[in-house]
Structure 1
Amino acid sequence: MTHIGACGDGSATFKMVDTSPKVSSLRVATAEARVVLPEAVSRVFLTEGGRTAKGSVFDVSRLAGIMGAKRTSELIPLCHNINIDEVSVDMSYVKEVGTVLIKCKSKTVGKTGVEMEALTGASVAALAVIDMVKGISPEVTYTVRLLEKEGGKRLVRDGKVVGEGGGGGI
């Protein structure tokens, strides 16, 4: 593992990966979170337009996702503090399955990827949805996954590695 080593006494040593030899390139990642709502919460989206006593679920959660992506290196140990050039959070309610679909896209020109920022943004947006509706029902769950990643060693599409990322320098 690139971040963890062993000392002679068996304890672990930690380090951030050295990105200084890498060449900067455009890095883009998109993560998806799905928040599954029980029927009582789904009714709020159908009858109240996604507004609860705390306000607009989508507005608050979208902002939370952007803020979360910006704070990724403070939340995830050994994650590089990178300049994020763009973060967007798109949300929709899929009434057929009672689910809020969240997509967080992050972009940078740098030496390391932005997939953790996209995943953190999607996760924090999902947690904000849960916080906004927990008074209606605590029976809310979410999943999160990396959808797309490009610009580094690997190219990811629909959550699967499909080839080299073409992370040529600029």
Structure 2
Amino acid sequence: MTENKLTHFNDDGEPSMVDINHKENTVRVARATGKITMKPETLKKILDIKIKKGEVLNIAKLAGIMAAKKTDQLIPLCHTIPLSYVNMDLQTDKKKSCIKVIAEASLIGKTGVEMEAFTAVSIALLTIYDMCKAVDRGMIISDIKLTHKSGGKSGEFNARV
């Protein structure tokens, strides 16, 4: 397999799950981030726990963790993996009227956990939107990206800030 070859296609160009049997088990870690921007009054309601659907930040954290554990059921050709750890960090920024979501996933295994970190961030952001849409349909989800990946043959990746 060359570095520039798409890995989820066989020699005939058809979708194919990557064979990871030959890979070594290593500690794999991935971190992804994203944000949701909203009206200042929406963020205030979240912080004051005044959203009718409940306590938004903790529910979004839980949704992210649950989503990471179900990534293989959502993304075709994604391996079922035994996650060892998923952590969600939600940071509020009153000046920019946004919430930044950071997800970290890890395991000891043969394949990476980037998709699990991405899924956790995405679902946490969507949960915030869902819980708050009655008061602010103009919220914007943006800047979802991988910020760190380590483990495996390709080594370490850290996004430029």
* TM superposition score normalised by structure 2: 0.89
1:4 is paired with a residue whose SS is coil
Q: Shift in Å at residue 93 of structure 1? A: 0.8
Q: Shift in Å at residue 6 of structure 1? A: 6.5
Q: Shift in Å at residue 141 of structure 1? A: 1.3
Count of residue pairs brought into register by the alignment:
153
CA RMSD of aligned residues (A): 1.5
Q: Shift in Å at residue 21 of structure 1? A: 0.5
Query: Relative to 1, partners in 2 of residues 1:24 and 1:72: Cα closer, same or farther, differing over 3 Å?
Result: same
Would you tell me which structure has more strand in proportion to its own residues?
1
The one-letter amino acid paired with 2:9 is: I
Task: Give ranges in structure 1 of 5+ residues lacking alignment.
Answer: 161-170
Q: Aligned ranges for residues 8-87 of structure 1 at < 5 Å?
A: 13-45=14-46, 48=48, 50-87=49-86
Contact 1:40 1:137 in 2 (8 A): no
1:149 is paired with a residue whose SS is strand
Q: Which residue of 2 aligns with 1:2?
A: 7
Query: Relative to 1, partners in 2 of residues 1:19 and 1:51: Cα closer, same or farther, differing over 3 Å?
Result: farther
Task: Give ranges in structure 2 of 5+ residues lacking alignment.
Answer: 1-5
* TM superposition score normalised by structure 1: 0.85
State how far apart, in whole Å, the 2-side matches of 1:4 and 1:139 are: 38
Q: Aligned ranges for residues 86-97 of structure 1 at < 5 Å?
A: 86-97=85-96
Q: Aligned ranges for residues 64-143 of structure 1 at < 5 Å?
A: 64-143=63-142
State how far apart, in whole Å, the 2-side matches of 1:137 and 1:96 are: 18
User: Percent same amino acid among aligned pairs?
Assistant: 34
2:157 is paired with a residue whose SS is strand
State how far apart, in whole Å, the 1-side matches of 2:16 and 2:9 are: 7
Query: Relative to 1, partners in 2 of residues 1:51 and 1:69: Cα closer, same or farther, differing over 3 Å?
Result: farther
State how far apart, in whole Å, the 1-side matches of 2:19 and 2:50 are: 45
Q: Which residue of 1 aligns with 2:146?
A: 146
